[in-house]
Structure 1
Amino acid sequence: IQGRDLHVCVWDLSEDRRTVTDSLLTGSVGFCQCSLLETRPGDALLAHPTENMEEVSVVEVKSWTPVCTLKPDSKLGMLMCMKMWQADSGPVLCAGYEDGSLVLWDVSHRRPFSCLKAHPEPVMCLDIDVCKQKGISGSSEKILQSWTLDNQQNLQMHDSVQMTNPGVSQLRIRVDGKIFATAGWDNIIRVFGWKKLKPLAVLQHHTDMVNSVAFSDHQDPPQRLLAAGSKDQRISVWSIYSES
């Protein structure tokens, strides 16, 4: 768990225990959340922001052994968000920056694959559909921008959709690749079709900015849920399953 105390903590939740077993001082006071990647059962990599606001550090979780540090050669501003996943060639990380750029990093070789100016404003959030090699990002503007990866790992603009009000804190693609949800600065959760970015639902419950959204990983579609956390100190849980 990443906290405002500049630490990432590892918790033991087995057998009803709730204890911190280890922690890592990141030194970061920025907005960017960490990204965790399980490389094989029992082993994982953690990408986290650092005291240097433009930098990503990747470490092994068990030992906190540094793997690499990723920093753009050009000035892209503060690191805002990131997502790490396992590709055929090894771990890959996509990072969003303050100037609206996305950089796709080759973690194993500590170098960028490609860079894309996706937004005119800071990239606030992003997610990737690894199976489709397609991702989406949001910013402080009204536009959600989707992008694709080609066989050479080049980022390319794909499609976009305009929202009613500006500002997205977070977005998540559901594991089945059919829909995605956004956490809006206007207190609203929005659900879109992933294939064509078609707006599907507007969920109104919160009285302040929605900060996060997450889908459950139930295998049975009727059991899948959407949860959202808000600045109003409430968590809402939604059943949005439809057979049609």
Structure 2
Amino acid sequence: MSRPAPSPIYTLRGAGGALNTLHFSCQGGDTPLLFSGSGKGSIHIWNLNTRRALKIVEGHAGSSVIWVSTLQSTDALISQGRDMQVCLWDLSEGRCEVVDSVWTGSVGFCQCSTLETSPGNFLLAFAGEQTEEIKIIELPSKSQVCTLVPDAKLGMVMCIKLLQVRSGPLLVAGYEDGSLLLWDVTQRSRLSLVKAHPEPVMCLTFDTKRLRGISGSSEKKLSSWTLDRQNNLQLQGCVTLVNPGVSQLCVRGDGKLLASAGWDHRVRLFGWKKLRPLAVLQYHTDMVQSVAFSDHQDPRQRLLAAGSRDQRISLWSIYSEGGDTG
């Protein structure tokens, strides 16, 4: 049975548009930060101590910002916009300027994914100009690694996630026909294909410690799956939701909690081990499009952020939920 739902500890307003993406950076220095990307093309850098925007930057010519992240070892921000550009920002010493960019050619909403391969070097995966195409490059050199195109007709690539396992970097992708496809990045080859949903895969996430992932779509179901020792995807089970539609999924760093961003304006919390429902967070008045757990070193400081089409970000303290997650 679900627990009584808490209330947000505070909210952030002033994004000026629908919130498409959120990313925490709370381990560097004394100022915990939250980055947000809006439908109006702005990136807000929120100071979580003052609960105000530290900086507001524009880098995608007013086009919707659909993904933001940080490259930890290089003090850099990376952002993706509907202008088909991925921008690399220099944040060091108070600067905030675009130092490089990558043209993707993608007209879809598929968010990029990064993976650090060595200090200062990253893989960047993004949807390409062709609807089923995924391109992977190295940063900062921008050298081409591979282009991944499935043999079967799976439709548009909807979501991607780079993974680091013992055998090397892998990529799991969700497609328009509901399929999940696992790629070996080094060998540029297809490893495994499963049909996880009857509808397009809208979002997915993966826990590399447990070799387990979960995906969502426009239906009333989350699909759980694992990666076996032969690097095959195995469908494991599903969670039935009250209302259809999931925008994003996120597993907390300690592997205890799963959060889902719902089209029904709600955030749902599950125990990640058994996918047991824990709480339904109700605050927003429109579709929740992004959820993110903070990376505070102190577990008692960890937060959950949710961004919505209602132009607000809600912050929730759910540390107490971690004791009995089941």
Same fold (TM over 0.5): yes
Partner of 2:88: 10
CA distance in 1, matches of 2:96, 2:269: 33
CA distance in 2, matches of 1:116, 1:218: 35
* Amino acid aligned to 1:220: D
Deviations 1:7-28 (A, max 9, x none): 0000111122111111111011
Superposed displacement of residue 219, structure 1: 2.3
Superposed displacement of residue 88, structure 1: 1.3
Deviations 1:201-224 (A, max 9, x none): 111111111111111111222111
CA distance in 1, matches of 2:234, 2:163: 18
Partner of 2:194: 116
Partner of 2:164: 86
Aligned residues: 244
* Partner-residue secondary structure (3-state), 2:319: coil
CA distance in 2, matches of 1:15, 1:93: 34
* Partner-residue secondary structure (3-state), 2:285: coil
CA distance in 1, matches of 2:308, 2:100: 28
**Residue 55, structure 1, aligned to residue 133, structure 2:** yes
* Amino acid aligned to 1:101: S
**Residue 43, structure 1, aligned to residue 43, structure 2:** no
Structure 1 segments, 4+ long, off by >2 Å, are none
Which structure has the bigger radius of gyration? 2
TM-score, normalization by structure 2: 0.74
* Amino acid aligned to 1:125: C
Superposed displacement of residue 236, structure 1: 1.1
CA distance in 1, matches of 2:314, 2:92: 26
Partner of 1:32: 110
Superposed displacement of residue 186, structure 1: 0.8
Deviations 1:77-128 (A, max 9, x none): 0000010011111110000000000000000010111000000100000011
* Amino acid aligned to 1:193: G
Greater relative CO, 1 or 2 (CA 8 Å, sep 6+): 2
1:73-152 paired onto structure 2 within 5 Å: 73-152=151-230
CA distance in 2, matches of 1:238, 1:51: 38
Deviations 1:165-214 (A, max 9, x none): 00000000111110110110111111110011111111111111111111
Partner of 2:75: none
**Residue 184, structure 1, aligned to residue 254, structure 2:** no
TM-score, normalization by structure 1: 0.98
CA distance in 1, matches of 2:190, 2:205: 18
**Residue 21, structure 1, aligned to residue 99, structure 2:** yes
Partner of 2:253: 175
Partner of 2:241: 163
* Partner-residue secondary structure (3-state), 2:80: coil
Q: Which runs of 5+ in 1 are unaligned?
A: none
**Residue 201, structure 1, aligned to residue 279, structure 2:** yes
* Amino acid aligned to 1:29: V
Superposed displacement of residue 140, structure 1: 0.4
CA distance in 1, matches of 2:255, 2:192: 24
Identity among equivalent positions (%) equals 66
CA distance in 2, matches of 1:61, 1:232: 35
Partner of 2:303: 225
Superposed displacement of residue 65, structure 1: 1.0
* Partner-residue secondary structure (3-state), 1:222: helix
* Amino acid aligned to 1:117: K
Q: Which runs of 5+ in 2 are unaligned?
A: 1-78
* Partner-residue secondary structure (3-state), 2:197: coil
